[in-house]
Amino acid sequence: MYNGITYRKASCHDATFIGAIWNQGIDDGIATLEIDKRGAEWVKNWLSNRDPRYSVIVADNEGKIVGWLSLNPFSQRKAYMFVADISIYIERSYRGHGLGSNLLDQGILEARTNGFHKIILTMISGNEHARNLYINHGFRTVGIMHEQGILNNKWIDTEIMEKIL
Position 33 scores a pLDDT of 86
Domain ranges (residues) in the chain: 5-124
In this prediction the pTM is 0.93
How does the average pLDDT of the chain come out, rounded?
94
pLDDT at 4 over 90: no
Whether 157 contacts 125, CB under 8 Å:
yes
Order of strands, edge to edge, in the sheet holding 5-9?
5-9, 56-61, 64-73, 83-90, 118-124, 154-164, 140-151
> What's the pLDDT tens digit per position in 134-162?
999 999 999 999 999 999 899 999 999 99
**What CATH number is given for 5-124 in this structure?**
3.40.630.30
Taking every pair of C-alpha atoms in the chain, what is the biggest distance, in angstroms? 41
**pLDDT tens string 89-124:** 999 999 988 999 999 999 999 999 999 999 999 999
| Three-state DSSP state, 111 | helix
